[in-house]
Amino acid sequence: MSDRFVLFGAAHLVAIALAFLVPLVLAMATAVSGNPRFERHVRTVFAVLLIGTWVLWFWLLYERNWFAPGNLLPMHLCDWAAILTIVTLIRLNQRTYELAYFWALGGTLQALLTPDLRYGFPDLRFDIFFLFHSGIIAAVLYLTFGSRLRPWPSSIPRVLAWSLVYLVSALAVNWLFKTNFGYLSAKPPGPSLFDAMAPWPWYIGELALLGVFSILVYYAPFYFADRMRQSRSLP
């Protein structure tokens, strides 16, 4: 197989498909089993997968002497989403879940669809990238459909506030260490949504607006489901 990454090539499509199919199958198995221990075991497996992938990444950095602030500091939005996902998997918590949910679907999903990656399967960098990003998406979807967590209207202002905290933090770290966390210092080199945006630094404002829009979009299914449930309950 080629060691060059091919956007929407076979390996990429498989990684995307598994990120959605695996949690849905496991959620159905959880519902059929009706066993809380099964649900806890699945969460444990997801947590071990994400932690193990992170350990493997740091081992690769050590093995190849790639230590640099841009590799070591967990300042991508996907890193924050992963940390919160792991915390929620270990101990179910509404506040960490809602941040993981919106950041995973609003940020990690975009990284999964248009990854900033040059190496294809079976290169270890490809494996780590997709285990990590697909794992975040899969874990959040399982928490939603298998563990029955969901965002609420009160989640929206909290997520907006913490997203602003991330934005300011990433800008500060980028300024201090000359890094490009959140792609706030420069656009990614590969094809992505950034290609349709204004030049730096104006696209940062567009990113903020897109973030607000994505939060509303990913809350919309719950909003309409609640409205339908309320209309059915009316006499």
Cα dist. 157→107, 126, 218, 235 in Å? 18, 35, 14, 33
pLDDT of residue 133: 97
pLDDT of residue 235: 63
On the 0-12 / 13-18 / 19+ scale of CB atoms within 10 A, 140 is: buried
pLDDT tens digits, one per residue of 90-112: 999 999 999 999 999 999 999 99
Q: How far apart are CA 230 and CA 235, in angstroms?
A: 10
pLDDT of residue 83: 98
This prediction's pTM: 0.95
pLDDT of residue 31: 96
Asked whether 126 and 5 are in contact (CB, 8 A), the reply is yes
pLDDT of residue 3: 78
pLDDT of residue 137: 98
φ, ψ dihedrals at 119, nearest 5°: -115, 135
Per-residue b or e along 9-40, where b marks 16 or more CB atoms closer than 10 Å to that residue's CB: eebbeebbebbeebbeebbeebeeeeeeeebe
Which of the residues in the chain have pLDDT under 70? 1-2, 234-235
